[in-house]
Amino acid sequence: MKSLLRQLGGRAAAPYLFVAPFFLLFAAFGLFPLLFSIVLSLHQWDASAGLGAMQWVGLQNYWYALTDPWFRSSLGHTFWYGLAAGLPQHLLALPLAYYIHRRLKRSRNFVVGSYFLPYITSSVAIALIFSTLLSKDFGFINLILPGTPRDWLGDADYAMPAIAFVVFWRYLGWNLVLYLSALQVIDESLYEAATLDGAGPWQQFRHITLPLLRPMIYFAVTMTIIGSLQLFDEPFILVDSESGVAPAVMTTAMFMYRMAFSYGDFGTASAISWLLFLVIAALSWGNHRLFGQAGGEHGR
């Protein structure tokens, strides 16, 4: 090793040598696909005919995607899931984390672990269990609910809320852990001083906890935005892709997958992925404007 280092310029070369594997892997599996997908989005390509069959079409794939009714509806569904599943995650995780942090002592690890468990469980296993629970004729949910059995996964009116619930349930624990970790670094003396000044629990939460949590809220909401806009697993597994209801619950990531692997149009699929990237970037920027800047000030 010593002689190798010497040949490469001594100690100065060592750091580059050690980080090289990462950059090589990143170039092969990160950068190249990224650049290739940009190129692909500007071509029409019948994948089964090989790389030689790529035809330059400029921005036509983007135009085609933007004029496709299923792309627009899939984007609408994606936003809907983002709001219906993403928003409650934070609205519930934040006060829940606060409660666990302030009130629970002995049972805290157990409670946090329980909430976190869905996050580390395989999405396939979760979707399979929920598809059984939500079965129209034989599912547990319909068994305990009064009235006519609902076709939870066969009717878009029910399927979308059902999917949103599964996503909410799954990621609640993740956000809970994020907020809990942020709460633990807030200086306890701030609360003591506030108590001495006569501030109640709500005032302490409103004027101490919330402002100091802003950096974490910014991070957690950004992660939710990115995750929600890339939602794929749960709707893909819960709703039979061959049923007529599938397009009515389809997310943009699912539409992208179908465009490539069912309809064989990899060029448009790549264009959709870049359009989705633009949407994610725009929303993340909006989130930065909302939480990030103020959070940064508090975080300093």
Partner 1 sequence: MPKPFHTVLAGTLLLLGLWSPLAQALTITVASFPDLDRAARAALPRWRALHPDIEVKIVSRQYADHHTAMTAALATGSGLPDVMALDLRFIGKFAAGRGLSDLGAPPFQAQQLRAQFVAYSWPQGTSPRGEFVAMPTDIGPGTLLYRQDLMARAGISEAELTGSWEQFIAAGIKLKAATGAYLLADSTDIRDIVLRTGLAPGEGLYFDSQGRVLVDSPRFVRAFELGRAARRAGIDAHAPAWTNDWVAGFRRDKIASQMMGAWLAGHLKNWLAPASAGQWRSTQLPNGVFASYGGSFYAIPAKSEHKQAAWDFIRFMCADAETQLQSLRTLDSFPALKAAQQDALFDEPMPYLGGQRARRLWREIASQVQAVPVHRLDALATDVVRAEYELVVSKGKDIPSALADARAMIEHRVRRP
The alpha carbon torsion through 26, 267, 80, 209 (nearest 10 deg) reads 20
Binding mask of the shown chain, residues 184 to 223, with x at each position contacting partner 1 by CB under 8 A: ----------------------------------------
Reported in sequence order, the residue ranges of the chain that DSSP labels E, i.e. its strands, are 43-44, 55-56
- Which of these segments, 76-84, 113-121, 147-155, 282-290, binds partner 1 (CB under 8 A)? 147-155
The runs of H, that is alpha helices, within 104-207 are 108-120, 123-133, 140-144, 156-184, 188-196, 201-204
Sign of CA dihedral 292, 295, 299, 300: positive
- Please, are residues 119 and 175 in contact by the beta-carbon 8 Å criterion? no
Contact string 28-47 vs partner 1 (x = CB under 8 A): ----------------xxxx
Shortest distance (Å) from residue 93 CB to partner 1: 31
How far is residue 161 from each of residues 6, 117, 155, 189, measured CA to CA in Å?
63, 22, 11, 43
- C-alpha span between 157 and 226 (Å, rounded): 25
Among 118, 154, 161, 227, binds partner 1 (CB under 8 A): 154
Least distance to partner 1, CB of residue 142, Å:
11
Q: How far is the CB of 256 from partner 1 (least distance, A)?
A: 14
Interaction pattern, residues 243-262, with partner 1; x per rule: CB under 8 A: xxxxxx---------x--xx
Q: Which is nearer to partner 1, 53 or 125 (CB)?
A: 53
Nearest distance from C-beta of residue 124 to partner 1, angstroms: 12
Cβ at position 245, least distance to partner 1 in Å: 5
Structure-token pair, residue 79: 């936003």
Total of chain residues touching partner 1, rule CB under 8 A: 40
Report the nearest approach of partner 1 to the CB of residue 258 (Å): 7
What are 278-283's contacts with CB under 8 Å, separation 24+? Answer: 279/75, 279/229, 280/225, 280/226, 280/229, 280/230, 283/225, 283/229
Choose which of 41, 74, 89, 131 interacts with partner 1 (CB under 8 A): 131
In angstroms, what is the minimal distance from the CB of 246 to partner 1?
7
**Residue with token string 């991070």:** 219
**Contact between 161 and partner 1 per CB under 8 A:** no
Which CB atom, from 137 or from 188, has the smaller least distance to partner 1? 137
- Of 15-23, 66-74, 89-97, 162-170, the segment contacting partner 1 by CB under 8 A is 66-74
Spatial distance between the Cα atoms of 63 and 75, rounded to a whole number of angstroms: 15
Name the burial class of residue 294, with classes exposed (0-12), middle (13-18) and buried (19+) by CB atoms within 10 angstroms of its CB: middle
Shortest distance, position 121 Cβ to partner 1, whole Å: 19
* 8 A C-beta contact, residue 191 and residue 169: no
Interface ranges with partner 1 (CB under 8 A): 44-51, 53, 57, 60, 64, 67-70, 131-132, 135-138, 151, 154-156, 240, 242-248, 258, 261-264, 266
